[in-house]
Amino acid sequence: MRWSLLLIVGAGLLRSTPLANAQSAPERVAPPQSMPIPAVVQSNEERLRFNGEFTVAIPKYTDARLQRAITRALGRLETLSGLPFKTAAAPQSGADSKGGPALIVEVQAAGDTVQSVQENESYTLDVSAQQSVLKAATVVGALRGLATLLQLAETDAQGLFLRGGHIEDHPRFPWRGLLIDVCRHFEPVEVIKRNLDAMSVVKLNVFHWHLSEDQGFRVESKKFPKLHELGSDGDFYTQQQVREIVEYARDRGIRVVPEFDMPGHATAWFVAYPQYASGPGPYQIERSFGIFNPAFDPTREEVYKFLDRFIGEMAPLFPDAYWHVGGDESNGKQWDANPRIAEFKKRHGLKDNAALQAYFNQRLLKILQKHGKKMIGWDEILHPDLPKDVVVQSWRGQQSLVAAAKQGYRGVLSAGYYLDHMKSAAEHYWVDPLPPGNALDQAPVAGVLGGEACLWGEFVTPETIDSRLWPRAAAVAERLWSQPEIRDVDDMYRRLDTVSLQLESAGAMHLSGPDRILRQLAGSEQIGPVREIMRLSEPLDFGQRARLHQTQMTPMSGLLDAATPDSAAARRVSAMVAMLFKEPAKRDAMVESLRGEFRKWREFPSQVSGMVSQRPRLRDVEGIAAQLGELGALGEETLGYAAKGERVQKSWTDEKLALLQEVAKPRGTLKVAVIPAMRALVSGVSGGLNQERSVSGH
């Protein structure tokens, strides 16, 4: 679906609501740092102060999972406060001890033995000057409440505190997932764990683990050992590691849904067992990326016996009720080329390859049901003959999701949440599984379970995965948890800057990882100018990078990999430009701030020229530095008109906008991120500023 998507984005399939047309969200009292925003928030002026006597009580239900969660939370609070809490290692049962503020955690019951899509994740949190009380029906609800409590911790001159108030919270959707593709580039256990920790910060609750592909098969099989021995290049998870990750996720209230892709995207299966393919082979692991021909042969009984034994081996490793079969982008070329398959289709009245794939899925479904699993797959699995408990994951868009829901199927939206496409957090934030006017009546609405952000692994390595996930995935998490009227993009970004630091505190490496790559490229710790240029730049998007024809063997440790999407520095410049035109009282200050910014840009070319001459892999920085130098000169010229209030000619405006269009073109593997801000500046002095001056009298 990541490759077909390149062909259909232009058709508007993933079109999101334009920000300019958005209506303001209704006024609500919201925690200043919480993301996702809770359903109900009431604040007061009280403060709960942390000190060395801070204690924890668990007066009702407790178990090892809850106690480990409280211990982790207290450890984070210790780090924030610098205080050693006496009960950090051993939360108490019974009443809280006297002598200091307390956290009381009241849980009614454990919840599902195997966390399910129906799990109750609601909680309440009450904070006064004396204590905080967290109440939840289940341990998972308590985990969500602890995540909120950690986000609400603030610091002032007196130290760490919680604001007083009352929170009632529950998720809007029960399925809030993150797909990580570990096949095209393998991600070690420690990488998965730290991103599970990050998921728990923003209340994502499904880890969709993409484990087989044309480029790799990533799980140890004892019944079919050639799968991992021949199909993985030695990079796979042992069964013990799978159990470890599943348990690690469960500790954080996260379900693990495995995906073994079939009938297509299956080359790595056939490297080991070519007899189950629709063509004769031989096969080898694919090193390039795209849609390939190999597919399982749906006409042979041996295929179903093989899959029965394989799923029977894997099912106990993954206790979740759902098993993802993939099902996407099977192009049918091997089926069309095989006379025996053509004869089978004719004999069974299967009019096309879609019908043949439906036949395969029906057989596969019986195997999954035998082993206690429910089927989930991409859009292509949708067929009237499948039972209604099959879940359809949509990469094609909301219309596909609506079509499935109207037929009685449950669905999960991923279209618009592809993090590897390098879109902004705002673009993902505006995509809603149930947008206004969604054309569903009340019954099908209940079938839309939620959504999943997707990080496909073509251009993602252990060194870059965090910066491709975070903090943008937090915006998707809020869309799937918070109420639909929460749509203030500026406020989302304000809180996203804070949650980004909280994600780093939880172990994510999205902030430190890019600098590490830059230090390696520069061969020095002195990367100041390069870092500043990179912060004003963005990487090529997925389609642009795909045209570079990089493969699984291409080292992904260049400037393109150090660049991060959705530049915060560019947003800051845009905010200053907006303030220049919209807030007359701050105009002079904004002119000076922007002038200082543009002077910095003009100095970039001379600052990096010496570094680039000694480090050829930094060459793309030189091109971006030159572009920023041009933009700095344009910015200073434009500010001259702004400061004087002079009216500019249309010819000047046209010339400068044409210049911006040219500068916007990528230089090498990077793009300048400040083009929208510069367009707004040029357009502002061309009309908006002069009109405002004439009205205001300045």
Q: Which tokens is 307 given? A: 């899959």
Report yes or no on 496 lying in a domain.
no
- 277 secondary structure, DSSP code: B
Amino acid at 499: V
Residue 28 has pLDDT above 70, yes or no: no
Nearest partner of 184 among 233, 220, 221, judged by Cα: 233
CA pair distance 522, 34, nearest whole angstrom: 37
Distance from C-alpha of 687 to C-alpha of 679, rounded to nearest angstrom: 13
Among 12-16, 175-179, 387-391, 644-648, which stretch is predicted with the lowest mean pLDDT? 12-16
Q: Is the pLDDT of residue 698 over 60?
A: no
At which residue do the structure tokens 């920000």 appear? 19
> Looking at the predicted structure, is the pLDDT value of residue 614 above 90?
no
Q: What's residue 93's pLDDT?
A: 57
Whether 335 is in a domain gets the answer no
Secondary structure element (H or E) that encloses residue 654, with its range:
helix 650-663
Q: Which residue, of 121, 138, 169, is where some domain finishes?
A: 169
224/207 Cα distance (integer angstroms): 25
| Residue 445: predicted pLDDT | 81
Mean pLDDT for 351-357 is: 95
Residues 238-267 have pLDDT tens digits of 999 999 999 999 999 999 999 999 999 999
Q: Is 451 helix (H, G, I), strand (E, B) or coil?
A: strand
Residue 12 confidence (pLDDT):
31
In the listed set 150, 169, 188, which residue is the last one of a domain according to the structure?
Answer: 169
* Confidence band for 399, pLDDT divided at 50, 70 and 90: confident
**Region 499-521: what's the mean pLDDT?**
97
The answer as to whether 452 is a domain residue is: no
Which two tokens mark 620? 């793309």
Which among 467, 447, 419, 525 is positioned nearest to 2, based on CA atoms?
419
Tally of domains in the chain: 2
Q: Does the pLDDT value for residue 127 go beyond 90?
A: yes
Tell me, yes or no, whether 416 lies in a domain.
no
Q: Which pLDDT value is given to residue 22?
A: 36
DSSP secondary structure code for residue 685 in this structure? I
Overall pTM > 0.85: yes
Q: CB–CB of 565/544 below 8 Å?
A: no
pLDDT over 80 (residue 236): yes
356 within domain boundaries: no
The pLDDT, as a whole number, for residue 335 is: 98
Separation between Cα atoms, residue 615 and residue 611, nearest integer Å: 6
Confidence of residue 96 (pLDDT cuts 50, 70, 90): very low
Query: What CATH number is attached to the domain comprising 129?
Result: 3.30.379.10
Residue 7, classified by CB atoms within 10 Å of its CB into exposed (0-12), middle (13-18) or buried (19+), is exposed
Q: Which residue has the tokens 């929460």?
A: 486
| pLDDT number for residue 87 | 53
Are 241 and 234 contacting, i.e. CB atoms less than 8 angstroms apart?
A: no
- Give the C-alpha separation, 440 to 433, whole Å: 11
Place of tokens 């618009």: 416
Res 31: pLDDT: 61
Task: Tell me the backbone φ, ψ of residue 34, rounded to 5 degrees.
Answer: -85, 135
Q: How far is CA 421 from CA 180, 429, 437, 568, in A?
A: 14, 14, 27, 18
Count of other CB atoms within 10 angstroms of residue 164: 18
The percentage of residues in the chain with a pLDDT greater than 90, rounded to a whole number, is 80
pLDDT digits (tens, 9 = 90+) for 265-279: 999 999 999 999 999
Write the single-letter amino acid at 294.
P
Residue range(s) defining the domain that contains residue 135: 40-169
Lowest mean pLDDT among 56-70, 91-105, 136-150, 592-606: 91-105
pLDDT reading at 437 higher than 70: yes
* CA–CA separation, 534 and 538 (whole Å): 7
State yes or no: pLDDT of 148 exceeds 70.
yes
Q: How confident is the model at residue 406 (pLDDT cuts 50, 70, 90)?
A: confident
| Dihedral Cα 503, 509, 512, 514, nearest 10 deg | -120
Provide mean pLDDT across the span 225-245.
98
Q: Which residues are catalytic?
A: 329
* Whole-number Å distance between alpha carbons of 178 and 210: 10
Per-residue pLDDT at 24: 38
Average pLDDT, the chain: 90
Is a pLDDT exceeding 60 seen at residue 21?
A: no
Quick one: average pLDDT of 345-356? 96
Supply the DSSP string of 38-96, one letter for each residue: PSEEEEEEEEEE--TT-EEEE-S---HHHHHHHHHHHHHHHHHH----TTSSSPEESSP
**Inside any domain, residue 577:** yes
Residue 382 lies in a domain: no
- What pLDDT, on the 0 to 100 scale, is given for residue 610? 83
Alpha-helical segments (H) within 329-397: 333-337, 339-347, 353-370
Q: Per-residue confidence at 5, pLDDT binned at 50, 70, 90?
A: very low
pLDDT confidence of residue 98: 53
Taking alpha carbons only, the member of 660, 652, 651, 654 closest to residue 627 is: 660
d(CA 272, CA 257): 24
Q: Give residue 645's pLDDT.
A: 74
Which pLDDT tens digit goes with each residue over 359-380?
Answer: 999 999 999 999 999 999 999 9
Give the end of a domain, one of 169, 186, 216.
169
Gyration radius (Cα) of the chain, Å: 27
The answer to whether residue 13 scores a pLDDT higher than 90 is: no
